[in-house]
Amino acid sequence: MNPLTAALEPLLAHLQPRLVDIYQDLHRHPELSMQEHRTAGIAADHLERLGYAVTRGVGVTGVVGVLRNGDGPTVMLRADMDALPMAEQTGLPYASTATATDGDGQTVSVAHSCGHDLHVTWLMGAAQVLAGARDAWRGTVMAVFQPGEETAQGASAMVGDWDHLGLPHADVVLGQHVMVGMAGTVRYRPGVILSAADSLKVKLFGRGSHGSQPQTAVDPVVMAAATVMRLQTIVSREVSPLDSAVLTIGSLQAGTKENIIPDDATLKLNMRTYDEAVRTHLLQAVKRICCAECDASGAPRPPEFTTLSSYPMTDNDREATARVAAAFHAQFGEDAREGKPMSASEDFSVFGRTWGVPYVFWFVGGTDPSAYARAQAEGALNTLPGNHSPRFAPVLEPTLKVGLQAMLSAAAAWLCVAADTPRNVAP
């Protein structure tokens, strides 16, 4: 056991009940992307009490806490803070009933259905252990609480503010995410672990008319239907079977009444890729097909493309991942495993990509072990409530402890001095 996770053990009895309270409070009070004012205040106040130099309002609501502890590398630990515009259906006694106004001015339900409340809690706990066990490590720790991950805004907004606020660049960037998986396990992967994601809105222009006189119209509904069908051929006919990609049209909106041919139709689509060349091809193919279908329909003008969000691939540095993996195997034994890439996406890598430094991202299982084992035996793992499900609810035992151990183990791969260094652990 490394000195930092050893320092965690005597603190757990004191620390865990407080962290459970923090987690349940955050869960009850979720906030939408770039609106995380309350959550950010809780994190910032916590860091200041621990002696971190805290900068608030980084990238709108982001928080950066810096703790310098002698010579050594600068290690960044990151947690995202935002929740989702959806209603919770977990039945938990601390379930969210919150509502908020979204970017379109609509009142929506809000829930922490992706686990970011647990991420914040983990980082607050790790920050406390690091502050209380300074004899066990040397270097600089940056605790970064990031807004707007769900909208791909937050990391870019933070790095945009970074240099003019005089914040240090990290030597390595570390982050983790609770996912469906047996609680008590940790999964890592060198190389690509999360896909790139691109979301587009495509507006197709027609010419409206009465439903009884289609000859006087250019029907955007037919145009949109043909476009949807043709877009589905990109992955099946333009991407090699040895590569992987997903293209989903999640929204098709047109018209208001059955006997009115509308003037336009709007598609919203999402693409996931694991290779930059494949990503570029998909983006070009979508525009080519949309333009061609509009031209074939005699549309009065070309389609209009709007980027809704864009996430880079999360491509873990191999050498840095090897260091993290060694720390995990020392800490968790067989419960630390190399996993497969996931089709989810993250803006976590923006920090490492911007500064040109290695980054490592990994997963912590949050599913009740008995429920996971039962579903696995029945071949029904896909039925377990996953991230973004209204029923997603990580079990806190042992997930809370394991997430703390994972974050501290990974940090210790860079920060820790000799394992026999004496520790003066403050609660």
And the tokens for 96? 């969210």
Q: Is 48 a catalytic residue?
A: no
CA 234 to chain centre: 27
Q: Which CATH superfamily is domain 3-192+313-415 in?
A: Zn peptidases (3.40.630.10)
Backbone angles phi, psi at 142, to 5 degrees: -115, 115
Q: Compute and round to an integer the Cα radius of gyration of the chain.
A: 24
Can you tell me which residue has the tokens 């589905």?
232
The fold for domain 196-311 equals Alpha-Beta Plaits (3.30.70)
Helix (H, G, I), strand (E, B) or coil at 421: coil
**Contact 47/79 with Cβ under 8 angstroms?**
no
**Among 31, 36, 80, 82, the one annotated catalytic:** 80
388 annotated to a ligand binding site = yes
Q: What are the domain boundaries of the chain?
A: 3-192+313-415, 196-311
* Residue 398 preceded by cis peptide, ω within 30: yes
> Same CATH topology for 3-192+313-415 and 196-311?
no
**Contact 29/88 with Cβ under 8 angstroms?**
no
Question: For each of the chain's 427 residues, which pLDDT tens digit applies?
Answer: 788 888 888 888 889 999 999 999 999 999 999 999 999 999 999 999 999 999 999 999 999 999 999 999 999 999 999 999 999 999 999 999 999 999 989 999 999 999 999 999 999 999 999 999 999 999 999 999 999 999 999 999 999 999 999 999 999 999 999 999 999 999 999 999 999 999 999 999 999 999 999 999 999 999 999 999 999 999 999 999 999 999 999 999 999 999 999 999 999 999 999 999 999 999 999 999 999 999 999 999 999 999 999 999 999 999 999 999 999 999 999 999 999 999 999 999 999 999 999 999 999 999 999 999 999 999 999 999 999 999 999 999 999 999 999 999 999 999 977 444 433 434 4
**Among 36, 82, 117, 150, the one annotated catalytic:** 150
Global model pTM greater than 0.85? yes
CA distances from 244 to 24, 197, 234, 269 (A): 38, 13, 12, 17
Tally Cβ neighbours within 10 Å of residue 145: 32
Q: Compute the distance between CA of residue 66 and CA of residue 167 in angstroms, rounded to an integer.
A: 9
210 annotated to a ligand binding site = no
Q: Is 80 a catalytic residue?
A: yes
Q: Compute the distance between CA of residue 327 and CA of residue 179 in angstroms, rounded to an integer.
A: 20
Nearest CA-CA partner of 66 in 162, 58, 82, 75: 75
And the tokens for 273? 């890729």
Q: What is the DSSP letter of 320?
A: H
116 annotated to a ligand binding site = yes
Contacts of 116 (CB under 8 A, 6+ apart): 79, 80, 81, 82, 83, 149
114 annotated to a ligand binding site = yes
C-alpha torsion 60→65→68→71, nearest 10: -60
**Contact 254/220 with Cβ under 8 angstroms?**
yes
